[in-house]
Amino acid sequence: MGLVVQKFGGTSVANVEKIKNVAGKAIREKQAGHDVIVVLSAMAGETNRLIDLAHSAAESPDEREYDSLISTGEQVTISLLSIVLNDMGYRARSFLGFQVKILTDQAHQKARISMIDTETIRKELKKGAIVVVAGFQGVDEENNITTLGRGGSDTSAVALAAALKADRCDIFTDVDGVYTTDPNICAKARRLERISYDEMLEMAMTGAKVLQPRSVEMAKKYNVPVYVKSTFSDEGGTLVTKEDKEMEREVLSGITYDRDQVKITVVHIPDRPGIAANLFLPLSERHISVDMIIQNASSQGFTDLTFTVSKKDMKTAQKIVEATAKEIGAKKVEVDDDVAKVSIIGVGMLSHSGVAAKMFKTMADEGINIMMISTSEIKISCVIQRKYTELAVMVLHDAFHLEKKK
Amino acid sequence: MGLVVQKFGGTSVANVEKIKNVAGKAIREKQAGHDVIVVLSAMAGETNRLIDLAHSAAESPDEREYDSLISTGEQVTISLLSIVLNDMGYRARSFLGFQVKILTDQAHQKARISMIDTETIRKELKKGAIVVVAGFQGVDEENNITTLGRGGSDTSAVALAAALKADRCDIFTDVDGVYTTDPNICAKARRLERISYDEMLEMAMTGAKVLQPRSVEMAKKYNVPVYVKSTFSDEGGTLVTKEDKEMEREVLSGITYDRDQVKITVVHIPDRPGIAANLFLPLSERHISVDMIIQNASSQGFTDLTFTVSKKDMKTAQKIVEATAKEIGAKKVEVDDDVAKVSIIGVGMLSHSGVAAKMFKTMADEGINIMMISTSEIKISCVIQRKYTELAVMVLHDAFHLEKKK
């Protein structure tokens, strides 16, 4: 007897028929003797529909109201699942962020969970209920509704698993696990049996869509075993867990790509201390995440600074950066959204040399120009021209023999 | 400078364009120097869509979950209106039932408001905000979402007006006021300039759809002046208010009809004390409202009992009554849903005699058989065959000369 958290994404709850399938999966765990918490996303497409509605009402919708609007999708699916479960003879109760309650900071659209009150849920579990919780949402100290950003339901699930010390957190999705790369663009992609938190985090942060990065951070922090599984099949699955010896034998775990990138270059900046702060502070104040940053060595008192942001932040970032560039006496600002980032990830990099060189050479051999490079201990990312994305992924997958289990 | 509550129904917020029109109406009051609270329904059709969704998930959906599901429609419209208002340069904040908070009892689907916390709203009004509140919903003591029944947003609006001592409560709808009868079936129907709370209540309770009966009860209790107005025109309107001398000159104010009625007869009941209680207690326990009740004089120790319920309760009521009938030894239960109720309403009845006789004669002259009669001080209702509904309304409208303002 344990406690299992199950999270189902939008395609798994796209209609009542599919919600009944989800009910079956929850009941199976219940019948196996476990306490069950189910976390749901909105029906596939619903959150996008609400976002479109918001933008048809205003170009820059008020953030508080925007969150209140786009959080309704989960309320629909959790109520429906609870209706189905009750109808099948199981006690089930749905809980919204304010009902749990899931407390967050005030950063609308990318709020962070600060506390989860487990009392109400525990009480219901004790009564034998299957507890169904709305993913993606919380409330701040003033009871304003907040949302956790794209894929936030993963984070809701892992946070609940951590707060309630669950034995397992199953993330059900439309693929049957984590792959060495996107099977849609590389037929040789191979499903991983297990992957470490750190690698999964790098993969999620560099473009793998299977898990929200924050959910992986949180899983690592609280050591929650996360299983990525398919809703529609019992086969396969990937366990995201602590590093173990087996993993270390492989150089790379995966290759990711991210087309949601915009490269911004501030050209010919008079090189004074504090310039980076001048540029990036106003961006962070607007909650715009800057990804890669490269500053050229100063030459004759001037420097260039290049960085990438997410596409959705392009307009705002450009406006802010152009204003700052003027202030600090830079020559101009160049924006290039015809780029993509390709990354290779693996804890094996720590013990293998020549990985970077091999990556660069593989791309050079195909005539792919590398515009920016950034590295971490277990990751190397390159910004390249967008049109070479698939090519880069495929040749790298081959070069590092990711199709074979070592 | 006063405080105005404005309520807009589903057709007034059916899409973003119409919501912008609503924003204009709120801003006009704001610019006139008033504090403004706007109460909204869900987009036209949305609540029905959600109800259908619930019933596709289960034949008898769990009541708590059902309320959580069907209350999402208002969350969408209040967020959208607030987005529009903020975009137009006005501070606006939306509030859900739990955020206000609007406390109700636990009777899901027909909850009653027990308390409204006005602090949050007052604070926002003080900051100059237009406050936008979700109609139709509240929360019970345990933070479960409850709904107030069809037309519940009217009650939300009047309750807020009462709690905040508003100067006016404007109910915007797709008609421009309260009519002597439904203009769709009687071309001679005339808009009333004003109508008393009691008459409005009788009209609402006997089929006029323009206001939810509870909202009128509440308006009367707290003496809230209610204006029924058209969202789409500045002309017309009806004031619902205390009785005044002018009203007394008219015999009738209006004629209503209600096709949402089912007649149930329990035949040949052994006449013992407590029979009515036996029959009606289980119905009230299931929150089924019984409307008209008629018990025949006992003959040779047996009696018949006839009553009406709403169509939506037909199946449940029939099941319950058949069980009780068996217990108490009645012969059988007859259910007839081919009926309608036609009512005439007017404070003038108090001082005019012969009103009932005139009603019965007018219908008899047309060969309309009256199956049940029930009267109050200012109302007479007759249950007739459904097919005669329009005919009855028209001949009564003529007979009492309702087309003319006296």
Residues of A in contact with B62 (CB under 8 A): 82-83, 86-87, 92
Q: What one-letter code names the amino acid at B144? A: N
| Interchain proximity B69–A75, CB inside 8 Å | yes
Q: Determine if the peptide bond prior to A123 is cis (ω within 30°).
A: no
pLDDT at B248 over 70: no
pLDDT at A43 over 90: yes
CB A115 within 8 A of CB A152: no
Residue B126: partners with Cβ closer than 8 Å, 6 or more residues away: none
pLDDT at B406 over 70: no
Q: Where are the beta strands (DSSP E) in B99-154?
A: 102-104, 113-116, 130-134, 137-139, 145-147
Hey, which of A106-110, A275-279, B62-66 has the most confident mean pLDDT?
A: B62-66
B251-270 pLDDT, tens digit each:
899 999 999 999 999 999 99
Residue B366's pLDDT is what?
A: 94
Chain Cα centroid distance, residue A139: 21
Residue A363's pLDDT is what?
A: 93
| Interchain proximity A82–B65, CB inside 8 Å | yes
Residue B223's pLDDT is what?
A: 95
pLDDT at A173 over 80: yes
Q: Which of B270, B271, B253 is nearest to B345 (CA)?
A: B253
Q: Name which residue leads in pLDDT, B291 or B344.
A: B344
pLDDT at A286 over 90: no
CB B10 within 8 A of CB B154: no
Picking from A83, A88, A102, A143 by the largest number of B CB atoms within 10 A of its own CB, the best residue to mutate is A83
Residue A124's pLDDT is what?
A: 97
Percentages (nearest 5) of helix, strand, coil residues in chain B: 40, 25, 35
Asked which of A313-322, B67-76, B235-244 is least confident by mean pLDDT, the reply is B235-244
Residue B246's pLDDT is what?
A: 63
A344-389 pLDDT, tens digit each:
999 888 777 789 889 999 999 999 999 999 888 899 999 999 999 9
Helices (H), B71-109: 72-87, 97-100
A49-88 pLDDT, tens digit each:
999 999 999 999 999 999 999 999 999 999 999 999 999 9
Residue B359's pLDDT is what?
A: 93
Residue A62's pLDDT is what?
A: 97
Residue B249's pLDDT is what?
A: 64
- CA dihedral sign of residues B107, B113, B115, B117: positive
**Residue B250: pLDDT band with limits 50, 70, 90:** confident
* pLDDT mean over B325-350: 92
B155-206 pLDDT, tens digit each:
999 999 999 999 999 999 988 999 999 999 999 999 999 999 999 999 998 8
Across the A:B interface, residue pairs with CB atoms under 8 Å apart total 121
The whole-model pTM stands at: 0.86
**Residue A249: pLDDT band with limits 50, 70, 90:** low
Chain B nearest CA to A143, separation (Å): 6
By Cβ distance, the residue of A57, A82, A92 closest to B80 is A57
Beta bridge partners of B398: none
pLDDT at B293 over 60: yes
**Residue B299: pLDDT band with limits 50, 70, 90:** confident
| Interchain proximity B58–A99, CB inside 8 Å | no
pLDDT at B1 over 80: no
CB B378 within 8 A of CB B345: yes
Helices (H), A88-151: 97-100, 119-126
| Interchain proximity A66–B87, CB inside 8 Å | no
**Residue A3: pLDDT band with limits 50, 70, 90:** very high
Average pLDDT over chain A reads 93
Residue B247's pLDDT is what?
A: 58
- Two structure tokens written together for A139: 């409330």
pLDDT at B52 over 60: yes
Picking from A18, A38, A65 by the largest number of B CB atoms within 10 A of its own CB, the best residue to mutate is A65
Chain A residues contacting B via beta carbons under 8 Å: 16, 19-20, 50, 53-54, 56-62, 64-66, 68-69, 71-72, 75-76, 78-80, 82-84, 86-87, 92-94, 96, 98-99, 143-145
Residues of B in contact with A22 (CB under 8 A): none
Nearest 5°: the CA angle A50, A51, A57 is 90
A87-99 pLDDT, tens digit each:
999 999 999 999 9
CA distances from B333 to A326, B38, B261, B319, B336 (A): 86, 47, 16, 10, 10
**Residue A246: pLDDT band with limits 50, 70, 90:** low
**Residue B331: pLDDT band with limits 50, 70, 90:** very high
Provide the Cα torsion A231, A235, A239, A245; round to 10°.
-170
Residue B47's pLDDT is what?
A: 93
Residue B379's pLDDT is what?
A: 92
Q: Is A27 exposed, middle or buried (0-12, 13-18, 19+ CB in 10 A)?
A: middle
CA distance A396 to A349: 15
The domains located in chain B, with CATH, are 3-174 (3.40.1160.10)
Helices (H), B329-388: 355-365
* pLDDT mean over B393-402: 95
ipTM attached to this prediction: 0.84
Helix (H) or strand (E) holding A247: helix A245-248
Residues of B in contact with A58 (CB under 8 A): 83-84, 86-87
CA distance A402 to A200: 16
* pLDDT mean over B331-357: 90
Q: Residues A194-206, buried b or exposed e (16+ Cβ, 10 A)?
A: bbbbbbbbbbbbb
CA distance B37 to B104: 20
Q: Name which residue leads in pLDDT, A242 or B1.
A: A242
CA distance A237 to A225: 13
Taking residue A52's Cβ as centre, other Cβ atoms within 10 Å add up to: 10
pLDDT at B102 over 80: yes
By Cβ distance, the residue of B16, B62, B71 closest to A82 is B62
Q: β-pairing, A290-295 with A302-310?
A: antiparallel
| Interchain proximity B53–A80, CB inside 8 Å | yes
CB A368 within 8 A of CB A388: yes
User: Whose structure tokens read 């993969």?
Assistant: A203
